[in-house]
Structure 1
Amino acid sequence: MNRLKDKVAIVTGSTSGIGIAIAQLYAAEGAIVTVCGRRAEKGEAVAQEIREAGGRAVYHYMDLMDPESIEKLMKDTAEKYGRIDILVNNAANASPKDGTVEEVTLEQWNEVFDSNLRGTFVAVKAALPFMKEHGGSIINIGSMAACGGDLQGTAYAASKAGVDMLTKDIALQYGKNDIRCNCVRPGLIVTPQNEPRIPETLKKIYLDNICVTRWGRPEDIGNLCVYLGSDESYYMTGQILTVDGGLNTHSPTVAQFRNMNSRTW
């Protein structure tokens, strides 16, 4: 349980869902974790739970829409521990009114891009000076929304597609500094926070289309992030890894043929 022993890790958006799982697994593997987000009370509680379990964690305020708070997070963490080894850009926002191209307003488009793409860019830019001396691992949390077109969520999908490309640029530009950068695209991940809001119909649609027998859990993403943050993944960089139960690996007609008990037309 020491795959990340003494590594200094920042996990943005770690006051709920996937972010909590990543922070907890990192601490269990020996990392020193900075939990961060806007909700101080929740963040302090997550850090406290990690410490009570024997891990090392502190909370630091960060607002994805406030570049100064992101820069302060990186600076304060580096000053406190002398380095930043892992940065997980998990924080993101999705506008509830994000729909078709005609429906999305310019204000909504800018808000989503400012949080998801600009926020990731600012976090990486602020962390790089503290990683360049000794290397590190940057893990951007993308989305399977960037895998193909959809009926809504236009701004969110486009912003996450931008995260994919930013990942490749970072990997290329800073690989010579022993800085790796990979992107993890979660599929449907059911968390304690979102489960009450996910209709059973949606769960069934996913189960009909994925290759395995259950939808995703936060630890499915966290376990991959442990690997990507560890030295085991040194030779992996610039990769876009989709963790979706195999949803995007097959023909879109698979679910229909399954319901017909048929393998072909």
Structure 2
Amino acid sequence: MTKLGDILNRLENKVAIVTGSTSGIGIGIAKLYAAEGATVVICGRREERGQEIVDEIKEVGGEAFFHFMDLDDISSIETLFKDVNEKCGKIDILVNNAANVSLQDGSVTELTLEMWDAMFTSDLRGTFFAIKTVIPYMQENGGGSIVNIGSMASTGGDLGATAYACAKAGIDMLTSCVALQYGKDDIRCNCVRPGLIITPQNEALVAQELKDIFLSNIELNRYGCPEDIGHACVFFGSDESAYVTGQIINVDGGMNSHVPTVAQFRELSSRTW
């Protein structure tokens, strides 16, 4: 975790909710937010794991507490924002990171309606409802920042992750709509699209062949880590981005910034055909 002496307190006195912050990218975001001075609400379905993250943050001088939330249960989302607003008096930042990574996906003909609906419930419906619920609290507070975690899967077609890619494309458009409709209330909405992020939870599950494919297309010669996403989220949550809204940033080591044949031409030691 970033040491408190190494930071600038860019989120000092802010209250931030980071959904899905009991694993992976969510932990990285939450710990950086706490290191930058925010009071962080760790939320998810695993209370014991959530409390462990809270304890780790407090051990290094940060402020955090856990609150249960299940993306599939809208009543738990409503309760989350109500309780946090009552406890802290405001909600400054919402990071929509939660998603169900264990859902089935496939090609268009392989997908059932149940698989499609489950993906959209997890990766789009829950985010939409969280935003819908938090906006009145942010309006009451005079503004706020919403940071959506998207995916580079939304940038093009996929052989198998059809429902996931479509749901994440919905996150991109939702970001634009929220930014447009509520900018007048000083509510900003931006999106961070992660590339291949290796976490303690997924490292053993990502096949080496997949890692090699990604690395051959990544310009910075390494995989991403949760803190890479966290730093972008700190910027969007802080006053440094006070005049930035409706933006989508790829944090992918440059993978989506070049033509798709780069990896093959590198193998040929050629710059062109």
TM-score band (shorter)?
Answer: over 0.9
The superposition leaves residues 99-128 of structure 1 with CA deviations (integer Å, 9 ceiling, x where unpaired) of 100111100100110111110011011111
For residue 54 of structure 2, what is the aligned residue in structure 1? 47
For residue 242 of structure 2, what is the aligned residue in structure 1? 234
Q: Matched residue pairs, number?
A: 265
For residue 204 of structure 1, what is the aligned residue in structure 2? 212
Amino acid at match of 1:81: C
- Is 1:164 aligned with 2:172? yes
| 2: CA distance, partners of 1:168 / 1:43 | 31
The superposition leaves residues 3-61 of structure 1 with CA deviations (integer Å, 9 ceiling, x where unpaired) of 00010000000000000011000000000000000011100110111011100000000
Task: Please identify, of 10-19 and 87-96, the stretch whose mean Cα deviation from structure 2 is larger.
Answer: 87-96
| 2: CA distance, partners of 1:2 / 1:96 | 37
What is the SS of the residue equivalent to 1:58?
strand
Runs of 4+ in 1 over 4 A off after TM superposition: none
For residue 16 of structure 1, what is the aligned residue in structure 2? 23
What is the SS of the residue equivalent to 2:243?
coil
Preserved CA contact (<8 Å) 2:103 2:115: no
The superposition leaves residues 65-117 of structure 1 with CA deviations (integer Å, 9 ceiling, x where unpaired) of 00000110011000001100000000012454301001111001001101111
Match of 2:190 among 157, 182, 186: 182
| 2: CA distance, partners of 1:206 / 1:67 | 36
Preserved CA contact (<8 Å) 1:95 1:108: no
| 1: CA distance, partners of 2:32 / 2:211 | 26
| 1: CA distance, partners of 2:238 / 2:102 | 33
Query: TM-score, normalization: structure 1?
Result: 0.99
What is the SS of the residue equivalent to 1:127?
helix
| 1: CA distance, partners of 2:30 / 2:92 | 14
For residue 191 of structure 1, what is the aligned residue in structure 2? 199
For residue 140 of structure 1, what is the aligned residue in structure 2? 148
The superposition leaves residues 120-167 of structure 1 with CA deviations (integer Å, 9 ceiling, x where unpaired) of 011011111110131000000000000100101100110000010000
| 1: CA distance, partners of 2:57 / 2:104 | 35
| 1: CA distance, partners of 2:202 / 2:110 | 25
Query: TM-score, normalization: structure 2?
Result: 0.96
Deviation at 1:251, TM superposition (A): 1.0
- Is 1:102 aligned with 2:109? yes
| 2: CA distance, partners of 1:7 / 1:94 | 29
Preserved CA contact (<8 Å) 1:94 1:112: no
| 2: CA distance, partners of 1:13 / 1:56 | 18
What is the SS of the residue equivalent to 2:95?
strand
| 1: CA distance, partners of 2:123 / 2:66 | 21
Task: Please identify, of 61-70 and 89-98, the stretch whose mean Cα deviation from structure 2 is larger.
Answer: 89-98
For residue 222 of structure 1, what is the aligned residue in structure 2? 230
| 1: CA distance, partners of 2:241 / 2:103 | 36
Unaligned runs of 5+ in 2: 1-7
- Is 1:67 aligned with 2:58? no
What is the aligned-residue identity percentage?
Answer: 66
Preserved CA contact (<8 Å) 2:18 2:29: yes
For residue 3 of structure 2, what is the aligned residue in structure 1? none
| 1: CA distance, partners of 2:101 / 2:26 | 16
Task: Quote the RMSD (CA, aligned, Å).
Answer: 0.8
| 2: CA distance, partners of 1:131 / 1:226 | 18
| 2: CA distance, partners of 1:164 / 1:23 | 22
Match of 1:7 among 8, 14, 20: 14
Unaligned runs of 5+ in 1: none
Amino acid at match of 2:247: Q
- Is 1:80 aligned with 2:87? yes
What is the SS of the residue equivalent to 1:241?
strand
Amino acid at match of 2:118: E
